[in-house]
């Protein structure tokens, strides 16, 4: 047992904080569907900076990275939630998918660009009206002379409008697999980007494949079952858990600083118990969520028997606590909190996404329930 960060962990986070602190402006501006190229350039600029401090390659190889990763993710998620989500999907989901399950040729061709911040990745997993939890995916590949022809639709694909590469989950005769495609791939089309309630800087759209040709060397898999899809989903959940920490950190610190400086009745509002006690509860949720997220990450990496259940506990707790903390921050900030661009307002909008994205809190609770029932 050791509740301290190691020197290496501290050094890594300091390096990241140094980068984030050295850039005065925030990361991603609001995504606009008619300014896709600007969004793409903005994201690539930041990915390159993050690659410079090795952020994008963290967790790609085996080793004790889980707690370091979670702590580093928290920092970035607090500073710029949209940049965080976009970077994580590109590196930690798309990149890690290649790193863990890709062929040597696939890794050699694509991975350096992703971890180096020169390429943007996206992963199509969920489908409209169904999810990988209880129904088979509708995306299917059928044999052709040159490989497979893949058809299907993927809903809400993060980074899709700006991505260079896609990994699309589906099935074919030999089993479940991911199909790799470049932007502009024959048969691949994207809907116009969505405008979201939260994560407004993230480019999201629906991806449709109509008999998209996929040669054998662009297939990751086949796998014997859909467990790999669930593993990728668990990576997504871990990202969303850390995103919750970021929401709480930003919202709590903004509200605390405001409460210390905003005067009412001749004293700072933190001196009023209505405000001070709210902040105490927010801090309690934040610190509790931090420890739970770190421990869950550690348990997953250590291969602990209860790790999947505790990881779901962490996801639910962090996502729901993020909404509560952001909501209370809004209350403390008063009208100022309701202005767009304020971390509390932004966090409040983002927090709902954390509860529905990845494994939703409802399904997570079902999995926790199933886990404890044995």
Partner 1 sequence: MEFSFSEEQMMFKDQVMRFARKEITPRSMEHDLKGEFDFHAFRKLGEFGILGLHFPEELGGSAADVVTSTVAGEALGEAGVDGGLTLSYGAHTFLCADTIFAHGTDAQRQKYIPALASGEWIGCMGLTEPGAGSDVASITTRAEKKGSGYVLNGNKMFITNGPVADVAVVYAKTDKALKHAGISAFIVEKGTPGFTAGEKLIKMGVRSSHTSELIFEDCEIPEENLLGEKGAGFLMALQTVEWDRSTLMAPFLGSMTYTLHKCIQYAKERIQFGRPIAHYQAIKHKLADIKIFIEAARSLIYRIAWCKDQGRPLNHKEAAVAKLFLGDWSLEPANGAVTLHGGYGYCHEYEVERNFRDSRLAPIGGGTSEITKRILVKLM
Which residues, other chains included, contact 126 with Cβ-Cβ below 8 Å and sequence gap of 6+?
132, 154, 155, 156
| 281 touches partner 1 (CB under 8 A) | yes
Spatial contact of 111 and 102, defined as CB atoms under 8 Å apart: yes
User: How many residues of this chain interact with partner 1, rule: CB under 8 A?
Assistant: 48
CB of 75 to partner 1, least distance (A): 15
Q: Which two tokens stand for residue 112?
A: 């350096």
Kind plus residue range of the DSSP H or E element containing 177: strand 175-182
Backbone angles phi, psi at 204, to 5 degrees: -135, 135
Nearest CB to partner 1, comparing residues 191 and 360: 360
Span from 170-178, 199-207, 305-313, 326-334 in contact with partner 1 (CB under 8 A): 305-313
Span from 19-27, 32-40, 97-105, 283-291 in contact with partner 1 (CB under 8 A): 283-291
Regarding beta strands 165-172 and 121-124, do their DSSP bridges make them parallel or antiparallel, or are they unpaired? parallel
Nearest CB to partner 1, comparing residues 132 and 255: 255
Nearest to 218 by CA among 172, 162, 156: 172
Backbone angles phi, psi at 176, to 5 degrees: -70, 150
Span from 101-109, 302-310, 330-338, 352-360 in contact with partner 1 (CB under 8 A): 302-310
| 300 touches partner 1 (CB under 8 A) | no
Span from 139-147, 179-187, 292-300, 329-337 in contact with partner 1 (CB under 8 A): 292-300
| Cβ-based neighbour number of residue 21 at 10 Å | 11
Q: Residue from 6, 144, 189, 227 that binds partner 1 (CB under 8 A)?
A: 6
3-state secondary structure labels for all residues of 232-273:
HHHHHHHHHHHHHHHHHHHHHHHHHHHHHHCEECCEEHHHCH
CB of 271 to partner 1, least distance (A): 8
Q: Residue from 291, 338, 339, 356 that binds partner 1 (CB under 8 A)?
A: 291
Spatial contact of 310 and 317, defined as CB atoms under 8 Å apart: no
Of 197-256, binders to partner 1 (CB under 8 A) are: 256
Span from 50-58, 73-81, 293-301, 351-359 in contact with partner 1 (CB under 8 A): 293-301
Of 25-84, binders to partner 1 (CB under 8 A) are: 67
Please give the Cα distance from 196 to 206 (Å, whole number). 13
Q: Could you list the residues that contact partner 1 (CB under 8 A)?
A: 1-6, 9, 67, 256, 260, 270, 273, 276-277, 279-281, 283-285, 287-289, 291-292, 294-296, 298-299, 302, 309-310, 313-314, 316-317, 362, 364-366, 368-374
């Amino acid at each position: 047992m050791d509740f301290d960060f190691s020197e290496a962990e501290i050094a890594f986070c300091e390096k990241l904080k140094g980068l984030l602190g050295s850039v005065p402006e925030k990361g991603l501006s609001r995504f606009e569907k008619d300014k896709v190229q600007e969004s793409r350039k903005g994201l690539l600029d930041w990915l390159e900076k993050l690659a410079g401090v090795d952020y994008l390659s963290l967790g790609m190889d085996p080793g004790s990275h889980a707690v370091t990763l979670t702590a580093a993710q928290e920092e970035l998620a607090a500073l710029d939630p949209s940049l965080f989500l976009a970077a994580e999907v590109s590196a930690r989901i798309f990149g890690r998918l290649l790193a863990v399950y890709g062929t040597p040729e696939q890794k050699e061709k694509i991975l350096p660009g992703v971890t180096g911040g020169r390429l943007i990745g996206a992963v199509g997993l969920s489908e409209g009206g169904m999810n990988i939890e209880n129904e088979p995916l509708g995306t299917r590949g059928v044999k052709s002379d040159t490989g497979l022809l893949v058809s299907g639709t993927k809903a809400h694909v993060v980074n899709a409008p700006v991505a260079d590469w896609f990994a699309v989950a589906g099935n074919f005769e030999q089993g479940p697999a991911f199909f790799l495609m470049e932007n502009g791939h024959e048969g691949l089309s994207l809907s116009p980007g969505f405008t979201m309630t939260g994560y407004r800087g993230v480019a999201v759209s629906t991806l449709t494949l109509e008999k998209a040709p996929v040669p054998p060397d662009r297939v990751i898999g086949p796998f014997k079952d859909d467990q790999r899809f669930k593993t990728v989903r668990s990576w997504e959940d871990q990202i969303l858990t850390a995103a919750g920490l970021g929401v709480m950190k930003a919202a709590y610190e903004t509200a605390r600083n405001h409460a210390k400086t905003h005067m009412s009745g001749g004293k700072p509002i933190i001196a009023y118990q209505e405000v001070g006690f709210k902040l105490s509860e927010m801090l309690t949720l934040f610190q509790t969520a931090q420890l739970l997220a770190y421990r869950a990450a550690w348990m997953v990496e250590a291969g602990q028997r209860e790790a999947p259940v505790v990881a779901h506990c962490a996801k639910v707790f962090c996502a729901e606590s993020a909404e509560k903390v952001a909501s209370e921050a809004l209350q403390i900030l008063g009208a100022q909190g309701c202005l767009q661009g304020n971390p509390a307002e932004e966090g409040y909008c983002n927090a709902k996404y954390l509860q529905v994205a990845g494994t939703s809190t409802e399904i997570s609770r079902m999995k926790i329930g199933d886990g404890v029932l044995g």
